[in-house]
Structure 1
Amino acid sequence: MTPHWLRDERLHFGVGIEDTFVPQQGIGRRPIDEYELMQHYENWREDLDLAVEAGAEFIRWGIPWYLVEPRPGEFDWRWLDEVSAHMHSIGLRCVVDLMHYGTPLWLDNQFVNATYPERVASYARAVAERYAGVWDDFTPLNEPVINAIYCGEDGTWPPYLTGGDGFSKVIVALAKGMVRTQQEIAAVNPAARFVHVDAGFRWEGDDLPLAREVLEERRFVSLDLITGRVVPGHPMHDYLTGNGIREDDLAWFPDNAVTPDVVGVNYYPGFTTVRYRPDGGTDPVEAGTAGLRDLIELYWQRYGLPLVVTETSRGGSVESRLAWLGESLEEVERLRAEGVPVLGYTWFPFFTLVDWLYRHDARPADDWFVHMGLVDVVRGPDRRLARVRTEAFAAFRASAAR
């Protein structure tokens, strides 16, 4: 077992390409595939080369499971073979995002399908076995708590469950899939390393939909589940059992506990922190570097594992992005100087994305472009999406070269 590549004295720089895939559609719900909307399928080689040009050592990049396994147990590797070979040839390490919200169309009821944990683990094992030595770093599932909120609590994405009962069903299924994914990957690639990626959650004010202590514990529930911490007496144990999760379902986790090598923290200064309105909606609260420090310290104190900022950026003008790049890197360096092992920094997204609200709207994708990247995407008269380097691109490259 060799040490993880991140565990040296340097701060490693990376970028990520937004890779949300929710292929299911219905009345008022069109599918969303960020690679298709951003023409990444056509421009993937240019996009990866741009990441290297920007100074990135690694990239967070996701596999569209629904395309790679179009039928149960049948895999189409043609595109992934090309992508993985090119990443290898240009020296770009990939932290593979195996699951980014969407399941294949053939999996009825998505995450609450009884076979989901084994299905996702089987797919992950196949990927890990085929690309061992080229792709050795894996995120079993991106932002599990966000996933459970959208799919299980708010009814926004399939399987469209709602309430605490829905949240609990989805988060337990996701966590079991994460455990089985890590187990199956490790079985075929002992050199594999695992980066758990969670969304940061922060709240201001007292008008909250759940008790503050529940919200503050719930943001850690997926990592606590997979590491076997949710036992009687744990703050989330009664919440989950009170929402229909059986004791034997929870007891499975301590018996199968896994630990990631690295914990990734996703933080956006302009919207990670929210304030709830009386009508149940939320307003974003600017939290700056204080919010970034708060979350990193919370994860470090709770788990004692190496950390990576796996997503951060700021929307709006290029000037605001430049400012955040400088401010956030300074804060990361302060934390490192204080002994907090922040080993990586990821600008995410690398280029423009389409807002998830596009899925519930009829307007063209261009109306939903969100420019938060080092590279802006601009549609030309030929309908092709050009990649335009911003000043933030050059600043990121200079920071990575230090």
Structure 2
Amino acid sequence: MSFLKIIEKKYGDGNYDGDQFGGAGGHDGSGLPENSPSNFMFATGIECSYPTIQKGKVRRDLLRECGHYDRWREDLGLVKEMGLNVLRYGLPYYSIHKAPGKYDWSFADEVMGEIKRLGITPILDLMHFGVPDWIENFQNPELPIHFADYAAAVAERYPWVRFYTPVNEIYVTARISAKDGVWNEQLKTDKGFVTAMKHCVAASIMANQQIAKRRNDCVIVQSESAEFTHELYAKPSPQITLENELRFLSLDLLYANPPSATVGMYLLDNGMTRKEYDWFMTGKPPGYQVMGNDYYGRNERIRLADGTIQISMDVLGWYEITKGYYERYRMPVMHTETNVFDADQAPIWLNKQWVGVMKMRRDGVPVLGFTWYSLIDQIDWDSQLGELNNHVNECGLYDLDRKPRPVAQAYKNLLNEFGQITIVPHGEVLELTDRPARLKVQV
């Protein structure tokens, strides 16, 4: 007699006692996120950019332009309505830090109190493309020390916050401010770019140190743009080759990863001293470091043989580009920003991004979270905020009247299907709870 016949006679066919504790009768990871520490971090963000344009005469503040200062309580309620527990949120650094040692916490205290009351986990964004007027711009060598003071003050005031992005998209900040000439100092020089880059990375490192002194279990989610320029040249051009190396520069300096010889010479040629370089190469900042990769279709470009640039929209995609970043740094990954400006295409774009996340996880890369950015529509990002057109970018989960766009329902559907997957398979064990294993299907 077959042993199977004996088993079936005693226990029945298929589902046996114990399977309900992980296995055949276990949970597949579906259902809205539970706000458990082991949960994959599904998030959204509230767009908060505040660079200056027109030689410092005009301050773009997207929190104001998109109505958040008046409707912040409603906006935070929408986060919970979506079923989300994680929010990338930026306090307006430029208006809070009034002078050395002087702060205005009036708005911050109200909104942070409500975030805490609602049980939302903020990934607190401390600098988003701009600085206070008294610091002027990213060419100021005093920026790192002043920003470190601000980070210390924030960490002391809100000790319950664990997740931070000290300086959002350092590479983009330096490039658009000092190489493309659109924001802040509006320079178009390599030296200006290197200066802005080293000041922003140093500011991030110093802020990280101050946060860690006050919260030694801090998690630093370094949001950075994942970019690539393709070129239709028979012979690769030095310009594009350098650009495709410079996209790594902020993370190379932040994570003490020696850049290529070409980039090293570029830095020394454009104002970085050997002593400064050695300082950056000392080691990674403290705390738990997560490499956040922001990806929009417009992050990929094709340079044609006549020198013109086309937006290529998802040739390699988030998966292939981020894989290159991961192989370079071997850091845990989070998909920290994505959207598309066509509201009708947004659900398709969302699903394509999620397919990339699932493939990355199945390949063994620790992807910890995903973010649709942003909660509500944005304004003038089609001109990188460089022009005051008041043009609405239809990229939010909700429009500026706080009405849901199609992508809101698509995201809810995704959350209902995958909302309880864990950061890593069997991530429940990391909580040291007595809860039994639950996931049958590893996603």
- After TM superposition, the score normalised by the length of structure 1 is 0.88
Q: Distance in 2 between matches of 1:65 and 1:123?
A: 8
2:105 alignment partner, one of 77, 95, 102: 77
Which secondary structure state, in structure 2, belongs to the residue aligned with residue 376 of structure 1? coil
Pairs within 5 Å for 1:34-73: 34-73=62-101
1:252 lines up with 2:275 in the alignment: no
1:151 lines up with 2:167 in the alignment: no
Letter in 2 for 1:51: V
**Greater Rg over alpha carbons, structure:** 2
1:283 lines up with 2:314 in the alignment: no
Q: Distance in 1 between matches of 2:182 and 2:118?
A: 39
Aligned partner of 1:308 in structure 2 is 334
Aligned partners of 2:339 and 2:346 also within 8 Å:
yes
1:283 is displaced (CA, Å) by 2.3
1:211 is displaced (CA, Å) by 3.5
Aligned partners of 1:55 and 1:396 also within 8 Å:
no
User: Which ranges in structure 1 are unaligned for 5 or more consecutive residues?
Assistant: 378-385
User: Which ranges in structure 2 are unaligned for 5 or more consecutive residues?
Assistant: 1-34, 418-443
Q: How many residues align?
A: 379
1:32 lines up with 2:60 in the alignment: yes
Aligned partners of 1:264 and 1:309 also within 8 Å:
yes
1:181 is displaced (CA, Å) by 0.8
2:406 alignment partner, one of 388, 391, 397: 391
- After TM superposition, the score normalised by the length of structure 2 is 0.80
- Structure 1 residues 209 and 352 mapped into 2: Cα distance closer, same or farther (>3 Å)? farther
Pairs within 5 Å for 1:5-24: 8=38, 10-23=39-52
1:224 alignment partner, one of 252, 257, 267: 252
Pairs within 5 Å for 1:81-96: 81-96=109-124
- Structure 1 residues 51 and 277 mapped into 2: Cα distance closer, same or farther (>3 Å)? same
Which secondary structure state, in structure 2, belongs to the residue aligned with residue 128 of structure 1? helix
Higher RCO (C-alpha 8 Å, min separation 6): 2
1:347 lines up with 2:372 in the alignment: yes
2:154 alignment partner, one of 120, 127, 145: 127
Q: Which stretch has the larger CA shift, 213-222 or 271-280?
A: 271-280
- Per-residue displacement from partner, 1:12-65 (whole Å, max 9, x unpaired)? 2100111111246548x6320001100100001111110111122211111111
Aligned partner of 2:140 in structure 1 is 113
Pairs within 5 Å for 1:195-206: 195-206=221-232
Which secondary structure state, in structure 2, belongs to the residue aligned with residue 139 of structure 1? strand
- Structure 1 residues 141 and 358 mapped into 2: Cα distance closer, same or farther (>3 Å)? closer
Which secondary structure state, in structure 2, belongs to the residue aligned with residue 317 of structure 1? coil
- Per-residue displacement from partner, 1:269-298 (whole Å, max 9, x unpaired)? 2x110123578663211216x411112211
Aligned partner of 2:318 in structure 1 is 292
1:373 lines up with 2:396 in the alignment: yes
Q: Distance in 2 between matches of 1:154 and 1:60?
A: 26
Q: Distance in 2 between matches of 1:248 and 1:306?
A: 30
Letter in 2 for 1:369: V
Aligned partner of 1:336 in structure 2 is 361
Aligned partners of 2:183 and 2:386 also within 8 Å:
no
- Structure 1 residues 215 and 115 mapped into 2: Cα distance closer, same or farther (>3 Å)? same
Aligned partner of 1:188 in structure 2 is 214
Which secondary structure state, in structure 2, belongs to the residue aligned with residue 261 of structure 1? strand
Letter in 1 for 2:145: E
- Structure 1 residues 281 and 149 mapped into 2: Cα distance closer, same or farther (>3 Å)? farther
Please give the root-mean-square deviation of Cα atoms over the aligned residues, in Å. Answer: 2.2
Q: Distance in 2 between matches of 1:72 and 1:197?
A: 27
